[in-house]
Structure 1
Amino acid sequence: MNMLSKFWNDEAGFVVSSELVLIGTILVLGVVVGLATVRDQVVQELGDLALAISNINQSYSFSGVTGHTSSTAGSMFSDLTDFCDTNVDGAGTEPECINVQIDAVEGEG
């Protein structure tokens, strides 16, 4: 009975474990918020990269060439704007042409 009362009155381990639980909870909440922010910024940067790639001018042309015994006609290709490249992508805006659609699953909710 004496040993049981000593364990009952001993609070040394309780303080350490409650502090660790509090610190662990704060760390987990910080990591979750941080990862959500990283996810959003990665999507934004990938959208910016897609916009930069779509703005590369792929047009080319060359004129006809005539030599001593042969000739070739010229050719031309003009790169057109994609259907979703109508707005200028600015800071703080969502990337264009990125649509996320999740279909509803029957039986949930």
Structure 2
Amino acid sequence: MKMFQQLWNDENGFVVSTELVLIATVLVLGMIVGLTTLRDQVIAELADVAAAISNTNQTYTFTGITGHSSSTAGSIFLDNEDFCDAAPAAGADEHCIAIVDPEAEL
């Protein structure tokens, strides 16, 4: 019982533990702010990559080749405008990714 009474009355480590709690709190708050900023920047970069991939034109063409005793036909592919490439009509059901710049809305 005497040992528990001594532990209860001991305040030697109180200041150190309070300082550690304060430092840990500041570090956690800093990490939250930093990770939130990192999340926003990763989302913005991935949106830029998605827009770049969406804007690629996959049209190709090649003509036929004729040799001495054989030939091949040519081929063509036209990359037409997809439903996501066109501007959505008013009230239309949107299934595509919309990239919004929050700074442009200010």
TM-score, reference length from structure 2: 0.58
Runs of 5+ unmatched residues, structure 1: 88-95, 100-109
CA shift, 1:25, in A, is 0.7
CA separation of 1:47 and 1:60: change in aligned 2, threshold 3 A: same
CA shift, 1:82, in A, is 4.0
CA shift, 1:62, in A, is 1.6
Equivalences for residues 1-109 of structure 1 within 5 A: 8=9, 11-67=11-67, 71-85=71-85, 97=97
CA shift, 1:11, in A, is 4.2
CA separation of 1:31 and 1:98: change in aligned 2, threshold 3 A: farther
Deviations 1:58-82 (A, max 9, x none): 1101224445555544332122344
CA separation of 1:81 and 1:30: change in aligned 2, threshold 3 A: farther
Deviations 1:57-106 (A, max 9, x none): 2110122444555554433212234444468xxxxxxxx7169xxxxxxx
CA distance in 2, matches of 1:15, 1:85: 63
Partner of 1:105: none
TM-score, reference length from structure 1: 0.57
Please list every run of at least 4 consecutive aligned residues from structure 1 whose deviation after the TM superposition is greater than 4 angstroms: 66-73
CA RMSD of aligned residues (A): 3.3
The more displaced of 43-52 and 13-22 is 43-52
CA distance in 1, matches of 2:85, 2:11: 65
CA distance in 2, matches of 1:18, 1:11: 11
Tell me the number of residue pairs that the alignment of Structure 1 and Structure 2 aligns.
87
AA in 2 matched with 1:54: S
The structure, 1 or 2, with the larger RCO (C-alpha pairs under 8 Å, 6+ apart) is 1
